[in-house]
Structure 1
């Protein structure tokens, strides 16, 4: 009986340690609901998450050509790129990749059933790093990967 308890503890303690450590990591990487974005000598101005997201989308729209050029550079068969501004998503990357990013989606060559998705990291100050843009799903037309 004593041996069973010892074996149970040997197995259980590392698992509990990993759960505790994972929880601490998630807590440390969790972003607050509101961020301080500007301050003056008299008052601190806070922006809501919604305001920050609107500003980030506006920034991407201002730099739309950079995104279009990047997607076009992925394949010589791409003549035009369309961005679906109604489908912009934010990601915390999950447990394995805790980077925050913004993701945009669209089509190519005005083909309705084509698709692509690009991801750009969000810096700690909520700015977007367009220099690190990446395609995170294959560019497709229908069910076929554009090669």
Structure 2
């Protein structure tokens, strides 16, 4: 029995080490700073991360109705959707899904104690992928699921 346990540990420890090392490598090789080069005939312009985020928000504001429609389709009792642009965040998917997202939050039906969240994937070229956005935080009112 002791021999079986030793063999089990001999096999398991390297596997766990590889999993841990793979996770560390993924966090260390995070996507580089969001910089985009736009070439013109005379010069190369680099956009800062802040400029890229402003462009993403502006683009989303132009397509705000898609977010509103996604939230409304979650429940027939949702009559109106309010987006709280000040709460917009950017995040990565974490260790298992190293994708980048724009996270948008808001309320429904002008209820102060309501909330929802939509996650929008960001493509490699820093554009928003509105076709693959999804509800990241269910609609809630006063902390409970909206029914």
TM-score by shorter chain over 0.5: yes
Is the contact made by 2:34 and 2:126 (CA closer than 8 Å) also made in structure 1? no
Root-mean-square deviation (CA, aligned residues, Å) is 2.0
- Counterparts of residues 1-147 of structure 1 (less than 5 Å): 12-28=13-29, 30-147=30-147
Q: Give 5+ residue unaligned stretches, structure 2.
A: none
Q: TM-score, normalised by structure 1?
A: 0.85
| Pairs aligned (count) | 142
- Counterpart CA distance in 2 for 1:132 and 1:56 is 15
What is the deviation of 1:57?
A: 0.8
In the superposition, the TM-score normalised over structure 2's length comes to 0.85
Separation (CA, whole Å) in 2 of partners of 1:42 and 1:81? 45
Q: Out of 86-95 and 136-145, give the one that drifted further.
A: 136-145
CA change 1:34–1:99 in 2 (3 A) is closer
Partner Cα separation in structure 2 for residue 64 and residue 111 of structure 1: 19
Q: Check whether the contact 2:34–2:52 (CA below 8 A) recurs between aligned residues.
A: no
Q: In structure 2, what is the Cα distance between the partners aligned to 1:44 and 1:20?
A: 38
**Long gaps (5+) in structure 1:** none
Deviation at 1:77, TM superposition (A): 0.1
Q: 1:48 to 1:95 in 2, by over 3 A?
A: same
- Greater relative CO, 1 or 2 (CA 8 Å, sep 6+): 2
Q: What SS class does the counterpart of residue 84 from structure 2 fall into?
A: strand
Q: C-alpha displacement at 1:26, in angstroms?
A: 3.0
